[in-house]
Amino acid sequence: MSSVKVSVVLCTYNGELYLREQLDSLLNQSFRPYEILIQDDQSTDNTWQIIEEYKSLNACIKSHQNSQRLGLNQNFITAFFKASGDYIAISDQDDVWLQDKLDLYVKALHDKDCCFVYSDSFITDSTLTVTGRFNVPDHSLIDLVWMGLAPGHSVLFKKDVLLGLKNLHEIDFIYDWLVGLTALSVGQAKKIDQPATYWRRHDTTVGRQDFKPIEYEYLKPYQLLFRVFKSLLMGRKLKNFSWQYENIFLILKNFEGVTRVKAINKFVTYYKQEKPWAMVIACFIYLRLHQHVKAKDWIKSVYIPLHKYYFYKYTGAGLRG
């Protein structure tokens, strides 16, 4: 697989404190990246100077500075389209990669249908002291209506999957969630069951996400039905809900030629409306999407959209940004 061209896309904003460590870890990969593309979002510290210093010493580094602030998601999305490799590995500015990370990822591409690779991560503090492990669960495409597939720093994907997004100008979504939805709509994902990144979690992390376990109170089915439909009948709208599901709808509609994608987007079409009659239809579509599971679990699945909706306003379930 030495002929595989991997572009590492690293987006920066005021990352001078840890950027050198990350760049060193990228340059020391046992599988050498085809290029390291760095896009800076108008940093006001010494980030750009560090980038240019490393660029002058390493021919594989390419750099671009935005003419105006784009924000985290658009910074990454626009940078993806500047990459010239066949595959894109996403890099944060303050993490450190294990030396064999790219080698592990490229070896996982032996399956011709695989277009998305991800792994677990070591969670560290600002000094890279390991404080835990972030285990990414396996997900199918239907699970991605609730949350993203994997944090961006752990992802490598086939660049061509983005070509299917014919309406990208309409979409304003979390960059790694967008990539996961797109990739699983057209191909398969492969998980590497070992950490490949030291993932810094600290106060200055761009787009910091705490990933605290969601705490649910137990509700009997009739209690869940009553509370959700009371809210819907009163015309209440949940913050960010419409934004999330409208974006998911816009992404998936590009791939409705695929039967499973069309069925999932039909669910999203009704679910995003936040109306009683639409919620009923959405729940039964969701039930049909789970006909392959055991009978007991299949019956329970009709309540999952209600459960996710009820706890959405309290936990931000599904929203990692």
Looking at the chain, list the stretches that DSSP marks H as alpha helix, in order from N- to C-terminal side: 19-27, 47-57, 72-80, 101-107, 175-186, 221-233, 241-252, 259-271, 276-288, 295-300, 304-315
Cβ distance 152 to 185 under 8 Å? Answer: no
d(CA 153, CA 91) in angstroms, rounded, equals 5
What is the arithmetic mean of pLDDT over 81-102?
98
Burial class, 236, CB count within 10 angstroms (exposed 0-12 / middle 13-18 / buried 19+): exposed
Cβ distance 264 to 252 under 8 Å? Answer: yes
What pLDDT score does 294 carry?
Answer: 77
Asked whether residue 212 is assigned to any structural domain, the reply reads no
Same domain for 265 and 132: no
**For residue 278, pLDDT beyond 70:** yes
pLDDT (tens digit, 9 = 90+) per residue, 140-187? 999 999 999 999 999 999 999 999 999 999 999 999 999 999 999 999
Same domain for 301 and 165: no
Q: pLDDT averaged over the chain?
A: 91
For residue 259, how far is the Cα from the chain centroid?
A: 23
Asked whether residue 45 is assigned to any structural domain, the reply reads yes
The pLDDT confidence band at residue 208, using thresholds 50, 70 and 90, is: very low
Same domain for 189 and 45: yes
Asked whether residue 275 is assigned to any structural domain, the reply reads yes
Same domain for 188 and 112: yes
Same domain for 269 and 190: no
Asked whether residue 178 is assigned to any structural domain, the reply reads yes
For the entire predicted model, the pTM comes to 0.91
Helix axes of 276-288 and 304-315: crossing angle, nearest 10 degrees: 120
Same domain for 94 and 11: yes
Give the DSSP H or E segment for 292: none
What pLDDT score does 291 carry?
Answer: 80
What pLDDT score does 203 carry?
Answer: 63
Same domain for 170 and 21: yes
Which of residues 137, 165, 200 is at a domain's end? Answer: 200
What is the arithmetic mean of pLDDT over 117-142?
95
Asked whether residue 119 is assigned to any structural domain, the reply reads yes
Asked whether residue 321 is assigned to any structural domain, the reply reads no
What is the arithmetic mean of pLDDT over 101-120?
94
What pLDDT score does 297 carry?
Answer: 78
Number of domains in the chain: 2
The pLDDT confidence band at residue 211, using thresholds 50, 70 and 90, is: very low
pLDDT (tens digit, 9 = 90+) per residue, 56-82? 999 999 999 999 999 999 999 999 999
CA-CA-CA-CA torsion sign (213, 217, 222, 223): negative
The alpha carbons of the chain give a radius of gyration, in whole angstroms, of 21
Same domain for 65 and 97: yes
pLDDT (tens digit, 9 = 90+) per residue, 3-58? 899 999 999 999 999 999 999 999 999 999 999 999 999 999 999 999 999 999 99
Asked whether residue 210 is assigned to any structural domain, the reply reads no
Higher pLDDT, 298 or 210: 298
| Residue ranges making up the domain that contains 253 | 221-315
Please tell me whether residue 180 adopts helix, strand or coil conformation.
helix
Same domain for 118 and 21: yes
**For residue 321, pLDDT beyond 50:** no
Same domain for 299 and 228: yes
What pLDDT score does 174 carry?
Answer: 96
d(CA 102, CA 60) in angstroms, rounded, equals 15
The pLDDT confidence band at residue 216, using thresholds 50, 70 and 90, is: low
**For residue 206, pLDDT beyond 80:** no
Which of residues 167, 200, 233 is at a domain's end? Answer: 200
What pLDDT score does 121 carry?
Answer: 98
**109 contacts: CB under 8 Å, gap ≥ 6:** 1, 4, 87, 117, 190
Task: For residue 87, give the CATH number of its domain.
Answer: 3.90.550.10
Burial class, 128, CB count within 10 angstroms (exposed 0-12 / middle 13-18 / buried 19+): middle
**For residue 215, pLDDT beyond 60:** no
Least confident of 63-67, 209-213, 230-234, 285-289: 209-213
Which of residues 138, 166, 200 is at a domain's end? Answer: 200
Same domain for 190 and 45: yes
What pLDDT score does 300 carry?
Answer: 85
Same domain for 54 and 98: yes
CA-CA-CA-CA torsion sign (63, 23, 59, 196): negative
Please tell me whether residue 278 adopts helix, strand or coil conformation.
helix
Higher pLDDT, 188 or 314: 188
Asked whether residue 208 is assigned to any structural domain, the reply reads no
